[in-house]
Amino acid sequence: MLRLSKLTDYAVVVLTRLEEGEGVQAAPDLAAATGIAEPTVAKVLKILAHAGLVEGLRGARGGYRLTRPIAEMPLTEVITAIDGPIALTACVDSAVGHCEAEDLCPVRGRWDPVNRAIRDALSGITIADLAPPRAAPVAPPARPAAPLAATA
C-alpha cells in the first residue's frame, strides 16, 4: 500500500496548527485543537523537536514553536524524521552481505532509481501544500478533491 506511518499524518496536522496559532503552544492545547490524543501529540512533538523542525521551550508557560514557516519545510524532512530514511525495501540499504540468495537475486541494489524518483517527486512539496484552508499557492494547484487513488 506504500503506506507511511500515521504519525507522519499527525505531524502534518500539528505543524499546520502550529503555524495557525501564535507564539508558543503547549502540547495539551495542540491536542485539543487538533483532536489527537494528548500523549500522541507529545510524542510527535518530541520527534519533530529532535529533527529540528520545532523548538521546545521548557518550564511553566513553555510550549512548542516552529523553527521556520511551514512553507519552507519540505515534506521529506517530516517523513524522514518520523519514518526514517526513504528507502523502499530492506534489500536496498547499505547492507551488501545478508541476502541468502545474493548471487541469484537480480534486483540487487536496483531499487535506488525508484527511491530517487520518489525523493525527487516529494522534494517539491512542502507542509504548506498540505494545509488547504489557508493560502496554498504552490506548484500542483487546482484539483481540490480528485477522485482518488485508483489503479495508480
Q: Under the rule (CB under 8 A), what is the footprint of its own copies?
A: 1-6, 8-9, 12-13, 16-17, 33-36, 75-77, 79-80, 83-94, 100-101, 104-122, 124-125, 129-133, 140, 143, 145-146, 148-152
146 torsion bin: left (phi>0), alpha (psi -120 to 50), beta (else): beta
CA dist 85 and 93 (Å) reads 10
Between 60 and 146, CB nearer to its own copies: 146
Between 42 and 122, CB nearer to DNA: 42
User: Which residues of this protein are in contact with DNA, per CB under 7 A?
Assistant: 1, 3, 5-7, 10, 26-28, 37, 39-40, 42-43, 45-46, 49-50, 56-64, 83
The interface partner of residue 64, options being DNA, its own copies, none and the CB cut-off 5 to 8 Å by kind, is: DNA
The interface partner of residue 61, options being DNA, its own copies, none and the CB cut-off 5 to 8 Å by kind, is: DNA
